[in-house]
Structure 1
Amino acid sequence: MAFFEGASSAAGTSAVKTLKGLASCSGLAIFLAISGVAVTTPLPVQAQAYSFNKVEIEGTQRIEAATILSYLGIAQGEVVSAAQLNDGYQRLVGSGLFEDVQIIPRGNVLVVKVREYPTINVVSVEGNRKVKDDVFEPLLKSQPRQVFSPATAEQDVQTIVEVYQAQGRLAARVTPKIIRRSNNRVDLVFEVIEGKNTEVERLSFVGNRKYSDARLRRVLETKQAGILRAIIQRDSYVPDRIEFDKQVLKDFYLSRGYVDFKTTGVTSEFSRERDAFFITFQVQEGQQFKFGKITTVSEVDGVNADEFHAAQNIKSGNVFSPAQLDNAIARLERLAIRKGLDFIRVEPRVTRDERNQLLDIELVLTRGPRIIVERIDIEGNATTLDRVVRDQFRIVEGDPFNPREIREASERVRALGFFADAQVEARPGSGPDQVVIDVDVEEAPTGSLSLGGVYSLENGFGLNLAFTERNFLGRGQFLSASFQNSSDSLNFSFKFAEPAFLGRDLEFGFETFYQSTDQASADYNTRSLAFRPSLAFPINEYSRLGLRVFAEGTELLTTENLKSDLILKEAARGRQIGGGVGFSYSYDTRRTGLDPNRGLLFQLNGDIGGVGADYQYARATALAQAQTKVWNDQVTLLATVEGGMLKSLNGANSRVTDRFRLGPSKLRGFATNGIGPRDFSSVTADDSSGDTVGGNMFAVARLEAQFPLGLPEEYGISGGVFVDAGTLWGLDDTLGGQIDDSAHLRSSIGASVFWETPIGPLRFNYSKVLAKENYDEENNFELTISAQF
C-alpha cells in the first residue's frame, strides 16, 4: 500500500500514528479476548494465568526467532498473566522492527505472527528544483539497504522542510511515499512542492532617532524585496536571520557609544496574500557616551601602574568603543607577558557619569588564578593540519591560561576563512589548576575556479580565468594562478604564499608574471617577465613590512609605423634583463581600526633594480588614503594622494618600459597614456598627437564623496562626486629639448553611479576635464563591470 499517500508533512505524522495504531488494535483485541475468558471463569478473584509449552513464530525473513523471543520475554513453560502477555506484545511493537504484530494463544501454543518492515531500495527527492539532491543526501537518515522506519521517514520530512524554510520558502510541502518492490523492498520517495520565496516586503524601525531607517537597513543581513527579488536571496524571510540581525544592530550601536542600546522587540506580520512579511524592529537607542577619565591602578605588589598606563591608547573625549577598550586591555596584558609577569589580568571598572554622558574607566591590574594550559585539543579538521590552527594561538601547553588570549585566538581561527564554524572553549583539565582548550571546527571549501568577463572603456572587453586555493593541502598556504586577456593586453600570474614560514609569524611567498601590451595610443608594444620571492611580517597590529628580491626582463617592440626618435633609440638597446631588491610597508586601519567611521591606509614601496642590465635605477611609490563617514554614516568621504619617482643610478637613461604612465584608474577624465610627455617627432599629417613616452615622476590627488541616492537600499545603487588633479613629468632624454617634460597640472570633476549587481560591481563615471594640455587625450565616460560564474 502507499505510505502517507496524498498527505502533507503534518498529515504524514498522523499516518505514522495510524499505522502504529492499527497494530495496537490487534494487541488490544487479543487482550480483550483474554480478559473475556477471565471474566467467564468461576474464580473472579484470581487473574487468568497461562503456560505455553511452545512458541511458534511466523512471518520472519531477516530477523532471528531468538530476537523475537527476547523482546517477548516469555520462557517455555513459564506461567504468565494476561498483563505480562500484553507487555511482551508492546515490546515487540516498540522495537520498531515490525510493520504488524499479532499474538494468538492456541491452547498451550503461543503463535506470534509478524510482518517485518521492508528494506529500503532507493531514497529519492522529487520535485526539487531550487535545492539540489546533493544538499539533501548527507541530511537524510533514511538510507538504502536499511530497514524502513516511518518515524525516521517523518524526521526526514521535517529536515527537508527546514532546508526550504532556511531559504525563505515557508510554503514548501513534502509528502513521503513508498513504492512496493519484490522481496519485501520499497522505494522511499519524498515528493516536494517548493512554493515561492516568502519575501520581506518592508523592513522598518521604531524608536530610532540618531540613525535613519535607510542607514540601519544597510547594517542588517535581511534586505527588503526589490526589483532584483528573483536573484537576491537576502530578501527572503528567514527567522534565524532575524536573531542575527538583532545582534548586528547591537554591535553597530555599541561601536558608536550607545551602551544602553537594546532591541525591545521584533514584529513579523504576514501579508494578506500570505506571500510576504512586514518586519519591524523596535529599538531603544539610549544616549551616546564618551570616554571620560582613564586611570590605571595596580593591586599587584611590585608592578608600576604608571608604566602600564603609558601603554594604553584610550583618549578621553573619544566616543566609547568596546573594541578600543578591549584593545587597551590586550596591550596591557601583552606588556605584562613581555615583562615576565604571569597570571596578570586587567579588569576594567566602569563608572558612569550620566550628567556629562561619560564613562570613566579604571584599568585594574590584578593577580589572576594560577591556571596552566594542560593541552589544546583540535577536532573537526579533516583536511587542515593541526599546526595551522595551533599557529593562531599565542600560547602552548604549559603556558599560563589567559581567557582574553583564548578569545583572540578564537577570532584568529575564524578569520582564517578555512572553516564554516569554529568554536574555542576551555574546560577543566586533569587537575584543579589546569584547563584544556577545545577547538571544534567545521571545514568549509577554500578553493575556487572562476571564469569572468571584464569590460571598461580603458581596456575594452576582457576574459579572466583564475584558480585560487587559500588552504593548499591543508597547510594554510595560498596558491593562485590567473589569466587575463583584453583587447590590448595579456597577463598571466602565479602566486604562492606560506603564512607561517619556519613556524613563525613570517610569510614567505613568490610570484611570477608575464605581461604583454599592445599600446592603443602608441606605435610600440611591450613584453615583460618577472620572478619575485619575498618575506613579510607584522611590525605591530596595523603595520606590515615586506622584503623581496626580483629578477625581471623587458622588451620593447616597435612597429613599422613608429616615428618617435626617443622610442627608436630605446628599442635599439634590445632586451633588458636584470635583478634587484625591494621593500613594501603598509599601515592600514580601515578594517582593524578602533573607530568604525574612520580609516587610514598608507603604503610605501621601494626598489633598486636593473642589476645586470644597462640601466640601474631606484624606484619609489607612495600612497596615502583616508576615509571617514559623516552625516550619521550617510556620506563617505575619501581622500587619496599618490606619487612615484624613478631615478637613474648609473647615469643611463630610462626606457618607456621603466617609466610611469597614468590612466583613468589614477586620474579620471583622461585616457590611458593620455597625459604626460610626448615625442612630437612622430607627428604626421594623419596623426598630430605624437607618441606618449611616460614620465619619471607622477603625483595625483583624488577627493571623492559617496552617498545614497534615495533609492531603496536593496537595489544596491548609490552615487558619488569626485575631483581629481595630477601630473606626469620628467625624462632623462628630451632629445635636446624637443620633448616637453614639464609638470603641467591636469584636473577634472565628475559624478559616479555605483551598482552592486548580482553579477559583479558596476561603476559608471562621467568626467569633465578642467585643465589639460592641447595634446592630452580625454576619456569622459567610463564603465567598469566584472563578473564571476
Structure 2
Amino acid sequence: MPKLAFIFVCLLAFALASPPSIEAQSGDSQVRVEEIVVTGNKRVAVGTVLSYLPVRAGDRVTRGSLSIALERLFETELFRDIDISLDGSVLTVTVVENPIINRVNIEGNDALSDKRLLEVLDIQPRRVYTRELALEATQRLIELYQSSGRYAAVVEPQIIELDENRVDLAFVVDEGPLIKISKITFTGNERFSDSALKRTISSRESKWFAIFSTSDKYDEARLDYDVRLLRQFYLTRGFADIEVSRVQGGLLPDRTGFAVNFLLQEGQRYKVNEITVNSDIENVDTSELASLFEFGDDNWYDVRALEQGLLEITNNLGALGYAFVNLDPEIVTNPETGQLDIVVNIGKARKNFVERIEIVNNVRTKDSVVRREFELVEGDAFNQIKLDESIRNIRNLGFLRCESSQSCRQQ
C-alpha cells in the first residue's frame, strides 16, 4: 500500500508570539484564579496537565505568569499547540496533543542493517512524537553513515498519520557511494618525506587493486589515531616540541573521495643534556634513580626511553616498600643549544606493608604449599618485585593456574 507522508506543523512559535487572551484584565494587573478547566486532552489526563501547570486555583496571575505557564507546558513535549485564556476568574487551558509513535521503519538502507540503524535511533513505539525528536534522530543516522565512510548519505524523516492520534515514523535513506581517501598530504614536514610519514599512519590512499582493504575508508576516529601515530613517530626521534593537527578533510567536488592533510610543526630536534630527580621521600638515592634512564649512544630524546625510565623508578621505589608513588616529569628545552633537561619530581609517599595474605580457590592444595612459594610474609614492607617473583613461583608449581597477579586457580 502506498504511504502518504504528512507533516505536522508545530504551532509553538505562533503560540509564544501570541500572548494568552486574558479578559477583564488590563496592563499587568493581577487576577485571582478560582477555577482551572482543561479541554482538548484525549490521552493525557487532566491531572497530568495540571501537575505541569505552575498555577493553582486561588493563585493570582498576570500576563507574565501565564506566559511562563505556557512555556512550562510546551517544555513537556506532550502538546503541539496550547492556548491559555482567562475569562473572569476561570482559567481555561486548551491543548492539542502530540501524536504517539506506533512504529519506526527504515527504508532504502543496504550497507547498514535495520538493527544497527534502529539501535542508533533509540526511538521506541508509544513514545511521544515531536519534530525535534525526528530531526535529532535524523542527525544521528547521518553521523553513523559518515563514520562508515558514506559522507554523501541523505536521510529524510517522514510520518504516516494513523487513527487515534498515532503515527508511523519512517526514515528514508539514500546511502550514496562509499567515499574513500583519494589523497593524503602533509604540510610542514621538513625532516621526513611524505612517503615516510605515510608509512607511519594507519590510513591509506585508495588504490584500485586494494579492493579488500578498509584502511582507505574515510574514518574520523582512524584519522585521529593517525595524529597520535605521527606525534609518537617524532617524539621517539628527538622532536620534543612536535605539534600535529589534522585539517578537516575536504570532499572532492564530485563527492567520490576525500583529500586529507596533516599539519605539522616539527620544531627543534633535541639531545638529552641532564637528568635530575628530586624526591620528597627521604633516604632515596636520587642520583641512582637518574641513572635508570637510557637514551642510547647518540643521546637523542626518545619518549619511550623516558617512559621506561619512569617505570624503572616506580619499580625501584616499589622494592623499597613505596607501592604508590607520584612521578611528575618535566621537560626543559633549549632550542638554541638543541639540548633538553629532564626533571623528575617524586611526591611524598608512605611505605606500605603487607597486612594479610589470603589464598582462595585452592580446593586440593593446602595453603602451606602455596605460602612457601611467597617471597613476602605478613608484616613485610610491600615489594612489587618480590610479589611478581611469588606469582612466578606459584605458576611454576605446575598444578595452579594464575590468571593475574591477584588471582590463581587450581588446574
**TM-score class, shorter:** 0.7 to 0.9
Report the structure, 1 or 2, having the larger strand content: 1
The equivalent of 2:117 in structure 1 is: 136
**Correspondence list, 1:334-373, <5 A:** 334-341=315-322, 348=329, 352=333, 357-361=338-342, 366-369=346-349
2:277 and 2:346 in contact (8 A); partners too: no
**Counterpart among 295, 303, 306 of residue 325 in structure 1:** 306
TM-score of the superposition, structure 1-length normalised?
Answer: 0.40
Secondary structure in 1 aligned to 2:313?
Answer: helix
- 1:299/1:185 Cα in 2 relative to 1: closer, same or farther (>3 Å)? closer
Residues 1:500 and 2:403 aligned together: yes
Structure-to-structure mapping, 1:375-524, within 5 angstroms: 500=403, 503=406
- Residue by residue, what CA displacement relative to the aligned partner does 1:114-138 show, whole Å, maximum 9, x if unpaired? 2222222112222221111222333
CA apart distance, 1:311: 4.9
For residues 85 and 302 of structure 1, the distance between their equivalents in structure 2, rounded to whole angstroms, comes to 73
Residue segments in structure 1 that go unaligned for 5+ positions in a row: 6-14, 40-45, 373-399, 401-496, 510-789
User: Which secondary structure state, in structure 2, belongs to the residue aligned with residue 319 of structure 1?
Assistant: coil
**Partner of 1:97 in structure 2?**
78
Q: What is residue 166 of structure 2 aligned with on the other side?
A: 185
Amino acid at match of 2:318: I
- 1:206 Cα offset (Å): 2.5
Q: Does the C-alpha gap of structure 1 residues 371 and 30 become closer, same or farther in structure 2, counting only changes over 3 Å?
A: farther
TM-score by length of 2: 0.72
Q: What amino acid is the match of 2:306?
A: L
> In 2 relative to 1, CA 194–498 (structure 1 residues): closer, same or farther, beyond 3 Å?
farther
Question: Residue 219 of structure 1 aligns with which residue?
Answer: 200
Residue pair 1:167, 1:238 contacting (<8 A) in 2 also: yes
Separation in 2 of the partners of 1:371 and 1:4? 70
Aligned CA distance change for structure 1 residues 177 and 365 (closer, same or farther; 3 Å): closer
Counterparts of 1:79 and 1:2 in 2: how far apart (Å)?
45
CA deviation digits over 1:24-75, x for unaligned, max 9? Answer: 46xx2753xx47x767xxxxxx656655654433332332212223334444
Instruction: Report the 3-state secondary structure (helix = DSSP H, G, I; strand = E; otherwise coil) of the residue aligned with 2:121.
Output: coil
Distance 1:121 1:89 in 2: 28
Letter in 2 for 1:157: T
2:12 aligns to what?
A: 20
Q: 1:434-489 CA deviation, whole Å, 9 max, x = no partner? A: xxxxxxxxxxxxxxxxxxxxxxxxxxxxxxxxxxxxxxxxxxxxxxxxxxxxxxxx
Alignment of 1:498-647 (within 5 A): 500=403, 503=406
C-alpha separation in 1, matches of 2:138 and 2:87: 42
Deviation at 1:201, TM superposition (A): 1.8
* AA partner of residue 218 (structure 2): Y
Structure 1 runs (4+) deviating above 6 angstroms are 295-299, 506-509
The correspondence of residues 34-433 of structure 1 with structure 2, limited to 5 A, is 34=22, 54-76=35-57, 80-105=61-86, 109-227=90-208, 231-263=212-244, 266=247, 268-292=249-273, 301-305=282-286, 307-308=288-289, 311-341=292-322, 348=329, 352=333, 357-361=338-342, 366-369=346-349
1:227 shift after superposition: 1.0
> 1:251: Cα distance to partner?
0.9
RMSD: 4.0
Are residues 266 and 75 of structure 1, via their aligned partners in 2, closer, same or farther at CA, if it must alter by over 3 Å?
closer
CA-CA distance at 1:293 after TM superposition = 5.4
CA distance in 2, matches of 1:302, 1:188: 71
CA–CA distance in structure 1, aligned partners of residues 90 and 287 of structure 2: 94
- Measured against aligned partners, the alpha-carbon deviations of 1:155-188 in whole angstroms (never above 9, x if no partner) come to 2111111111212322222222222223322211
> What is the identity, as a one-letter code, of the residue corresponding to 2:348?
G
Q: Given the superposition, is the C-alpha separation of residues 176 and 23 from structure 1 closer, same or farther in structure 2, using an over 3 Å criterion?
A: farther
User: How far 1:327 moved relative to its partner?
Assistant: 0.8
SS in 2 for 1:334: helix
Change in Cα spacing, 1:360 to 1:134, as seen in structure 2 (3 Å) is same
Q: CA deviation at 1:258?
A: 1.8
Amino acid corresponding to residue 167 of structure 1 in structure 2: S
Structure that is richer in helix per residue: 2
- Shifted more, 130-139 versus 238-247: the winner is 238-247
Q: Which has the larger radius of gyration?
A: 1
Q: Deviations over 1:347-391 (max 9, x none)?
A: 6565656576444556x574525599xxxxxxxxxxxxxxxxxxx
1:344–1:368 CA contact under 8 A, matched in 2 = yes
Cα pair 1:343 1:367 within 8 Å, conserved = no
Q: 1:149 corresponds to which letter in structure 2?
A: T
Deviation, structure 1 residue 192: 1.5
Q: Which residue of 1 aligns with 2:396?
A: none
Q: Structure 1 319/183 Cα, relative in aligned 2: closer, same or farther at 3 Å?
A: same
Which whole-Å CA distance do the structure 2 matches of 1:103 and 1:187 have between them? 30
Q: What runs of 5+ residues in structure 2 fail to find an aligned partner?
A: 353-380, 382-399
Aligned-partner Cα distance in 2 for 1:54–1:259: 74
Report if aligned partners of 1:344, 1:365 keep a CA contact under 8 Å in 2. Answer: no
Whether the 8 Å CA contact 2:278–2:346 is kept in 1: the answer is no
Distance 1:272 1:217 in 2: 24
Q: Any conservation in 2 of the 1:223–1:235 contact (CA below 8 Å)? A: yes
